[in-house]
Amino acid sequence: MDIKTPSEKKILVVEDLKIRPAFPFYSRAKNLQQHVDTIRGLLSKALPHPLPFSDKTTFEQWIHTSVPWISWGEIEAPPDCFSMFFLMKPVPSMLSETFISEMIKRWLLPHEETSILSFEHMQILFELYPNQTFFIGEAKILIKNKKQADLMNQNLSLLKKEILSALESGRYARSLLESKALPLDHKINLIRETFIKLIKKFPEDLDETLFHSLATMQSLTTTEFREQRAYSHLARLVVSKLLIRNHLSRELNVFPEKRHMKILYFPTKLSFPFGMKPVLGLCIGLNFFHKYEFFDE
């Protein structure tokens, strides 16, 4: 009988993908072995059908092009529940299961917390891809009424995009999650994507404090304020605040006894129902000599 190596084996069904936990000696525990069997069944539901790969080479290609893989089942008439499936590399800055569950709870239903009925998950290794640990999970989400069902149908794709964006950012996933304490906003999502690119491009000048400043701006401004301004302008405001603060800090180190002021001008346009209105925005930064100092009008 010829014994095929893993690279020669064909993948015809999901069961041909051999997996094991990313830690040793799991077979000694009966309860843990039962959980591993559950995860094997979960893999069958999580992967696309038909399988987009047939051997080790095409499986590796699929991992490189399609993982993180996020999918979900159909939302039926409520009350009911549906499943979201996740296959991805572990989140480096926090527990993957915490990150996923918090993203779902905070963002799938605006202004209310989503109920997760169960969350089966595990870190696994594939026999055909043994040098990389993967996180696989299934979250079962409660749908109480038609309003929730409609909102979930609207937000699932955007939630997926938000999760993928955070996973792409790697070590900034925690900061991104902390900045997501407010309802889903398409412009805010675009700003976060811009910040990720800027931090990667200018790591010496910008860091994850951008996300905290963004959350502050979102909480202090009205929806009308954000709707009237382009996302690029809102992003410039947040970035400028950080750059001005860094500039003032350097100036104070050299001349601590002086008053310093930095003014940036932002020509932009406000969007109104009757059309666009050109305006000039200002970003002003100055230092205080003591924390109780204030200025007259």
Q: What is the pLDDT along the chain (297 residues), one digit of tens a residue?
A: 455 565 667 899 999 999 999 988 777 788 988 999 999 999 999 999 899 999 999 999 999 999 999 999 999 999 999 999 999 999 887 889 989 998 898 789 877 879 999 999 999 999 999 999 999 999 999 999 999 999 999 999 989 988 888 888 766 676 666 665 445 466 787 788 888 889 888 988 888 889 889 988 888 888 888 888 888 899 999 999 999 999 999 998 999 889 999 999 989 989 888 888 999 989 999 888 877 777 665
Q: 278 in a domain, yes or no? A: no
Contact 113, 173 (CB under 8 A): no
Report, in angstroms and rounded to the nearest whole number, the Rg of the chain calculated over CA atoms.
Answer: 25
Q: What is the dihedral of CA 136, 68, 53, 133, to 10 degrees?
A: -50
Contact 145, 186 (CB under 8 A): no
Give pLDDT, residue 293: 75
Contact 78, 146 (CB under 8 A): yes
- Domains in the chain, number: 1
Instruction: Give the other-Cβ count within 10 Å of 288's Cβ.
Output: 10
Q: 53 in a domain, yes or no? A: yes
Total-model pTM: 0.67
CA–CA gap between residue 229 and residue 141 (Å, rounded) = 35
Q: 89 in a domain, yes or no? A: yes
Q: 9 in a domain, yes or no? A: yes
Q: H or E segment at 70?
A: strand 69-72
Q: 260 in a domain, yes or no? A: no
Give pLDDT, residue 69: 97
CA–CA gap between residue 244 and residue 262 (Å, rounded) = 7
Give pLDDT, residue 1: 46
Q: 28 in a domain, yes or no? A: yes
Tell me the residue range of the domain where 83 lies.
Answer: 1-170
Q: 204 in a domain, yes or no? A: no
